[in-house]
């Protein structure tokens, strides 16, 4: 959408993502990303932390369940999304404004960690592409091994070779 503020944030989760369900049964996960800039002080010959930015973030639907099941407190993540501004009144009647990140993409940062990725089973909710039988899906994936009987190449660790898939 034109005019939206899209940002990328790298930081650590301050707590486990909190998964909740709306009255209509729609899953939503809320969490906070703490991003702290670091600069090198040449005079002191050491790294110094700057002022941390604590950014509330949310994800919806299947994405929320994936985030809640995959990410935990302290993990370094890379998140991209759109900033949303929300106005409300606090308990004392004061007008407040909150800026939150509506996450489009998020994953663990691999700078200081490793990750094992598994493809989630598709529920079909909120997807724009039509559902296809699993066998047909595998044959269309360019990274799958020809004649492979495995339903999901991502879920079989060490099943890849050194040859490029293209």
> How does pLDDT run across 78-123, given as a tens digit for each residue?
999 999 999 999 999 999 999 999 999 999 999 989 988 888 877 6
In sign, the C-alpha dihedral spanning 145, 146, 147, 149 is positive
> pLDDT digit string (tens) for 8-29?
999 999 999 999 999 999 999 9
- Residue 14, Cβ neighbours under 10 Å: how many? 15
Q: How far is the CA of 38 from the CAs of 18, 19, 32, 70, 74, in angstroms?
A: 28, 31, 19, 27, 17
Reported confidence tier of residue 129, pLDDT bands at 50, 70, 90: very low
Residue 133 has pLDDT above 70, yes or no: no
> What's the pTM value of the predicted model, to 2 decimals?
0.69
């Amino acid at each position: 959408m034109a005019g939206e503020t899209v940002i990328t944030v790298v930081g650590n989760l301050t707590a486990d993502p909190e998964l909740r369900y709306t009255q209509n049964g729609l899953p939503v996960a809320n969490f906070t990303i703490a991003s702290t800039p670091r600069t090198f002080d040449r005079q002191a010959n050491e790294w110094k932390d700057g002022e941390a930015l604590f950014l509330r973030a949310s994800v919806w639907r299947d994405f929320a369940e994936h985030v809640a099941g995959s990410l935990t407190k302290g993990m370094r993540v890379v998140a991209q999304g759109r900033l949303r501004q929300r106005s409300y009144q606090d308990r004392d009647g004061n007008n407040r404004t909150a800026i939150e990140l509506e996450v489009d993409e998020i994953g663990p940062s691999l700078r200081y960690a490793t990750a094992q990725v598994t493809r989630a089973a598709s529920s079909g909710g909120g997807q724009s592409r039509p559902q296809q039988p699993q066998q047909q899906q595998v044959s269309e994936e360019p990274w799958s091994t020809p004649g492979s009987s495995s339903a999901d190449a991502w879920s079989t660790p060490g099943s890849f070779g050194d040859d490029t898939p293209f």
